[in-house]
Amino acid sequence: MKKLISIILVVAMTLSLQGCFFVAGAAAGAAAAVVAYDHRKLESILMDNQITHDAADKINADPNFKGSHIDIACFSRVVLLTGQTPTAELREEAEAVVRNVPNVTRIYNQIIIRAPTSSIVRTSDAWITTKIKSELLATKGMKSGTIKVVTENGIVYLMGMVSKDQAETAATIASQVDGVQRVMKIFQYTN
């Protein structure tokens, strides 16, 4: 959630520098709507934020990960690791580090062995995530606040607690956004 808000704020600030104050205001409003629509209990949201923060601190403090790009997302204590690292050993080490963070129930390690992506690719990924979240928010009947969207190098990961119908609808919406190369569902199903 913090990452989404940060992305929206960066986009809003960039657009405001270009004179697009209306678009910036709309982006900030969309961020507020997403936060308000998250139906999880406050304790669950805070726990996920703490897990993300603790895992990021441990990985960022470890000099072995210099030259890697690792992103951490957490929803309902399930952690998704994405990004790039130069060796398989570092990929496994990142998972081991996160496994030692308190309250993590499951880890999906999607780190790829290769050089880190460029800032242009990361900006494109952020834009894809924003477009998908906007489409989910605008879709009638979609409980978008129960879905976390993560994009890494054109691959979209959808995570959260949803019904199978909501999962399929979200995956269809995500797959239709320009720039999406593949959609991966990492859902916990409510039915």
What is the model's pLDDT at position 37? 56
Q: Which of 184, 116, 176, 119 is nearest to 151 (CA)?
A: 184
d(CA 1, CA 4): 5
Q: Which of 93, 92, 26, 88 is nearest to 63 (CA)?
A: 93
What is the model's pLDDT at position 99? 97
d(CA 152, CA 75): 17
Q: Which of 71, 76, 64 is nearest to 38 (CA)?
A: 76
Give this prediction's pTM: 0.78
What number does CATH give the domain 42-113? Answer: 3.30.1340
Q: Tens of pLDDT along 31-70? A: 444 445 566 789 999 999 999 999 999 999 999 999 999 9
Phi and psi at residue 90, to the nearest 5°: -70, -35
